[in-house]
């Protein structure tokens, strides 16, 4: 290895020496398990789904080329727009709320009080529970009659909505469930919080900054790269939301009842995609949906990254 590095400069003009070639191939051989896996499980499905999106394919018969017909049909499909609207609601309402509550929890967990480790564990615990289990748990929490949520609301004299039955409240139900899991994000924030040098705060305090100034001028800028990371991961997660809807809206696939809950209020992008692919057996159409999702997520991510230059501060700069 050392040889190849030191020998690089003199032999550059002539191209690689035989020895360099040999290391090159040897390197490839050692990297091949990953390369082969990448080709088979990532590159091939990637391009074949692009191909399928231009065909009519039902799994059993060979795909039939239809050009961009699938994309055209999607543009006229009401379920597509409904699913986009529902998904954007989650992305732009649920993600920021969850992000904010994570940050809040992280700041609380950053206090040096007795038994803080127990609190930290408690808040992180929901993240350990699998999606299906927590969704089932929440169907009981949100039960209009016996659920804890409504029992509490009645107790304080607030109206008790029919959470999972009323189309206006199904998505807020999911936001609530998301909040419960914000301990996972809090843990990441907490790690970052502990990396913020105390000297900043001390200096600010000497200069007479109150807690709001310290939060807004020190904590938030110091955490901004983490906020960016969590924001992007949250957005991507929001576009893939599936389990909660499938469990809560009673995924009785194939028995004539459609997925997506009351008034299609929980018909998210991934749920619609699943329905088209595995219930209606339209793999080509579903592949086209997947590509549109890919483009949307990429555009939103790029947009966020672009604006982030204005509000994200990296330590080194």
Partner 1 sequence: MKRKGSIWGLVFVLLLAILSGCGGKKPAGSGSESGEPAGGDAKKEPVELSFWYGWTGTEAAALEKLIQKWNDIRPDIRVKGLSQSDYQKQLTAITGGNPPDIASNFGQDVVPWGERGAMMPLDDYIKKDNVDLGDFVPAALSSSQSDGKTYALPIAMHVSMLFYNKELLEKAGLNGPPETMGQLKEYIAKLSVKENGGKLQRLGLWPGVDAFTFSYAYGGSYYDAENKQVTPDNAGVKAAVEFGKGIWDQFGSKELDRFASGLGQYMSPQNPFFTGKYAMTIDGEWLPTFIKQYAPNLQYGIAPIPYDENNPSLKHPGNVTTSVFYIPKGVKHPDESWKFLKWLTEPEQMAEFTAAIGNLPTRTSLQQHEIYKDVPGFQEFLQYSSSPNLHSFPATSFSAEYMTEFTTQYNAILRGEVGVDEGLKRVKDKIQPLVK
* Residue number with CB closer to partner 1 (240 or 258): 258
In angstroms, rounded to a whole number, what is the distance separating the alpha carbons of residues 251 and 261?
A: 9
Q: Is 242 exposed, middle or buried (0-12, 13-18, 19+ CB in 10 A)?
A: middle
**Integer angstrom CA distances of residue 226 from 101, 104, 180, 304, 311:** 14, 14, 20, 13, 12
Q: Should residue 264 be labelled a site residue for partner 1 when binding is judged by CB under 8 A?
A: yes
| Lookup: tokens for 230 | 């969590």
**Integer angstrom CA distances of residue 221 from 202, 307, 308:** 16, 15, 12
Q: Which stretch binds partner 1 (CB under 8 A): 208-216, 224-232, 249-257, 304-312?
A: 249-257
Among 7, 63, 144, 237, binds partner 1 (CB under 8 A): 144
Q: Which stretch binds partner 1 (CB under 8 A): 108-116, 160-168, 176-184, 295-303?
A: 160-168
Q: Should residue 21 be labelled a site residue for partner 1 when binding is judged by CB under 8 A?
A: yes
In angstroms, rounded to a whole number, what is the distance separating the alpha carbons of residues 177 and 181?
A: 7
Q: Should residue 311 be labelled a site residue for partner 1 when binding is judged by CB under 8 A?
A: no
| Lookup: tokens for 45 | 């499905």
Q: Which stretch binds partner 1 (CB under 8 A): 206-214, 224-232, 235-243, 278-286?
A: 278-286
Angle, alpha carbons 215-218-222 (nearest 5°): 115
* Residue number with CB closer to partner 1 (94 or 264): 264
Among 280, 303, 305, 311, binds partner 1 (CB under 8 A): 280
Q: Should residue 25 be labelled a site residue for partner 1 when binding is judged by CB under 8 A?
A: yes
Binding site for partner 1 (CB under 8 A): 18, 21-22, 25-26, 29, 32, 36, 58-61, 77-79, 144-145, 161-162, 165-167, 253-258, 260, 262-264, 275, 278-281
């Amino acid at each position: 290895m050392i040889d190849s590095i030191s020998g690089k400069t003199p032999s550059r003009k002539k191209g690689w020496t035989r020895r360099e070639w040999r290391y090159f191939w040897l390197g490839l051989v050692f990297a091949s398990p990953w390369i082969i896996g990448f080709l088979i499980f990532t590159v091939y499905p990637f391009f074949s789904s692009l191909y399928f999106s231009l065909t009519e394919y039902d799994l059993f018969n060979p795909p039939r080329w239809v050009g961009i017909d699938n994309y055209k049909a999607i543009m006229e499909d009401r379920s597509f727009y409904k699913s986009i609207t529902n998904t954007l609601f989650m992305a732009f309402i649920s993600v920021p709320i969850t992000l904010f509550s994570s940050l809040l929890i992280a700041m609380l967990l950053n206090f040096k009080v007795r038994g803080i480790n127990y609190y930290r564990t408690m808040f992180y615990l929901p993240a350990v529970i699998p999606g299906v289990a927590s969704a089932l748990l929440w169907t009981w929490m949100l039960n209009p009659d016996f659920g804890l949520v409504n029992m509490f609301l009645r107790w304080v004299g607030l109206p008790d909505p029919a959470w999972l039955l009323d189309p206006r409240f199904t998505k807020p139900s999911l936001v609530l469930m998301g909040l419960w899991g914000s301990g996972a994000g809090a843990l990441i924030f907490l790690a970052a919080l502990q990396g913020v040098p105390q000297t900043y705060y001390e200096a600010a305090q000497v200069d007479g900054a109150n807690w709001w100034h310290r939060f807004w001028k020190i904590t938030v800028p110091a955490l901004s790269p983490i906020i960016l990371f969590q924001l992007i991961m949250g957005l991507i997660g929001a576009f893939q939301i599936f389990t909660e809807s499938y469990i809560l809206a009673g995924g009785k696939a194939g028995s004539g009842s459609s997925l997506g809950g009351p008034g299609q209020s929980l018909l998210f992008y991934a749920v619609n995609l699943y329905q088209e692919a595995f219930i209606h057996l339209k793999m080509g159409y579903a592949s086209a949906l997947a590509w549109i999702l890919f483009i949307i997520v990429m555009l939103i991510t790029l947009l966020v990254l672009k604006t982030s230059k204005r509000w994200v501060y990296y330590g080194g700069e």
